[in-house]
Every structure is written in structure tokens, then in C-alpha cells.
Amino acid sequence: MPKSEETVEASFEKAAGPVVESQGERRVVVRAVNLGKVFTSSFTARKKWAVRGLNLEVFEKEVFGFLGPNGAGKTTTIKLLLGLLRPTYGSIELFGTGPANPASRAQVGFLPENPSFYDYLRLGEFLRLCAALSGLRRRRDVERRVAESLFVSGLIEHEDVQMRKFSKGMLQRAGLAQALINNPRLLILDEPMSGLDPIGRKEFRDSIVKARDNGMTVFFSSHIIADVELLCDRVAIINKGQLEKAGPIEELVQEDVKSVEIVAKDVAESAVLQLDPFVEEKRTVGDAVVLKLRDSRATTLVLGTLASHGAQILSVTPHKETLESVFVRQVTKDSLSHASGDPEGPAGGRRKKDV
């Protein structure tokens, strides 16, 4: 039996969390408050949460990564931002204006996932169309922006080619060119690097860096962690429509306790015995001893003890957690809580961290 509107609303209220983070004087470009989207099947009338209780703030001039597995709700969130979908609950703003007002998109450039364009148009014609739709009126401005977009996307020599003849990589770059046509302050890219070859990905990463250097805010979704780690100032991890974790990358990967590996020579047995409570693992490699510490905070104490027992320190290597391990842990934790029938899982209305 389908959920009634009231039931859905109640479960949404339970799932939603407060907006907690602020970034001093930095201006908020994107703000989502308790955002929720329910899709209803037209045949069975069954409701399905695509996004639930999402609180999000993106600040100007940052590269914000929206990380999540396939089907996590990344594209739905972006479409809600752009007014392509209407939220079931909550609110969303671009530059302080709701997406129902087309003016909210005046300073936005958007590249959809697997973009599809008018294949009967030549690239130049398409970009001129996009320029007109972005509100550029004077012919001189239009031609200047078309030329700049073609230059940035590396497609100058393809201006007169029909887009039906474009490869996947070229279509992606054409998508970037149209997104940049109005010299936007906010660039929204949905899975921009999926399906590109390594060179294409490198070129696209360079374009994002260039956009940030030009003062644009970049919001991009991806499930490719390496790209997010390389480019982003802040990251939000979304899974099953809910925000799992968010913040600057350095905070996300340092939040949890990391191990430290110390390699030393001439380590006395008495020192090893004394350090046993701090050591998680001990192994011998040649005439050196490798000590893996349980807690990085004990590093100074362990080094002091080793030095006082006449050991020679060869190396100290802190093992930081990667974004990938944070991501995998967050996503699998959610799956496990589902598998074990955890009543406080997403269906039960667990509170999420906000960004």
C-alpha cells in the first residue's frame, strides 16, 4: 500500500537534520535546507525517496565535490538545484534565489551527465543558441563569449562541425563550452569525467582548475574518488539520498585515528617490552624492527623511549586515511545497517551530518 503524504512527510521530518556549518564571511552560493524529493511510480503509486533531508551549503570560489555511488541521489540533487525537478520538501537557493525563478540560473553554467545536444546543429550554432538563452544580446558579446568558450574547451577548429560527428570526449568538451558561455560564477558539472579516457580526464581536470583560478565556484558530482581528491576543497558524501559525511578533505581524512609506522635499528628487547602497550604490530625486516603504533598520539613517547634505549631511528611514516577508505566505510556501513535490519538505518530516520 502506498505511503500517504502525511506518512512521507513525517518520516522526512525525522530524517532531516539542522544546518550547522558556517564559513565566516564567505558568501553562500548554493543552499539546500531539509531538501527532499520523492518519486512516485505512475503504475504502482509506490513512493521512493531520491533525496532525503539534505542540508548543503556551497561557498563562493571553492571546488565542491559531491561524491556518491551510482543511484545515491547526486543527479537528483543537481536537478533540484536547477529547477528541473521540484522538491517534495525543503528549500533550495542559488545566489539567494529559488530555482523557480529563471534569474537564479543567470550566473550558472551546467554540464549534464552524458550530455546530448542537437545533432543537426554545428557547434558554433549551438553555442550561439546557448549564448542567446543565457541572455547575451549584443552580437559582439556573443561572438566574444563563443570564441572564449571554444578556446577554453579546445574546440576552436570544430566550430563548423555538426555535433552528430563528435566523439564522446568532444561532446563532453562541447558541454563544457556551453556551460561556460555566460562566464558563470557557478559551474555545476554532473559526472563530468565519466566515460572519458585518461587524457580526456586530465584535460577536464585542468579545465576545472582553470575555472577555479578564474574565480568560479565549481560544484561537481562524481563517483571517481581520485578526481574528487585531486580537485576539491570540500567534499560531501551522499548515499541513498542522504548526506553521510561532509567537510574539507583534510578534515575528512584526518578525522579518524591513523597509525604510525616507525622503523628503527639496534632496538633493545627491554625497550620493546616497555612499548608493548602502544605497539599494534611488530615485525623484523633484516636488522631493522618495524613498529606499527595503535595511536598516532603515542609517537613522541615511543620515539623518546627508543632513543633513550640507544636505538637508531630510520624512518617515521604516518599512515593517513584516504578519501577512498572514508567513502567505502560510509557507503558499506549503510549497506550493513540495512542488511542487519538496523531500525535506525536510513528508513528509520537516522540523523545525518550537515555541510
Tell me which residues touch another protein (CB under 8 A): 39, 79, 82-86, 102-106, 108, 110, 112, 114-118, 120-121, 125, 129-130, 132-135, 137, 175, 178, 182, 188
For another protein, give the closer residue by CB, 110 or 327.
Answer: 110
Smallest distance from the beta carbon of 114 to another protein, in angstroms? 8
Answer left, alpha or beta for residue 83, where phi above 0 means left and psi between -120 and 50 means alpha. Answer: left
| Residue 70 in grid coordinates | 551510482
Strand pairing report for 63-67 and 217-222: parallel
For another protein, give the closer residue by CB, 115 or 248.
Answer: 115
Please give the distance of CA 102 from its chain centroid, rounded to a whole number: 25
Answer left, alpha or beta for residue 249, where phi above 0 means left and psi between -120 and 50 means alpha. Answer: alpha
For another protein, give the closer residue by CB, 52 or 245.
Answer: 52
For another protein, give the closer residue by CB, 42 or 340.
Answer: 42
For another protein, give the closer residue by CB, 115 or 247.
Answer: 115
* Helices marked H in the chain: 5-15, 74-82, 123-133, 139-153, 168-179, 198-213, 225-231, 249-254, 269-275, 299-308, 323-339
Smallest distance from the beta carbon of 246 to another protein, in angstroms? 24
Smallest distance from the beta carbon of 193 to another protein, in angstroms? 18
Gyration radius (Cα) of the chain, Å: 25
For another protein, give the closer residue by CB, 52 or 352.
Answer: 52
Smallest distance from the beta carbon of 40 to another protein, in angstroms? 10
| Those residues with Cβ within 8 angstroms of residue 260's Cβ, 6 or more apart along the chain or in another chain | 292, 293, 296, 299, 316, 317, 318, 319
Smallest distance from the beta carbon of 2 to another protein, in angstroms? 18
**Of 83, 87, 78, which Cα lies nearest the Cα of 58?**
78
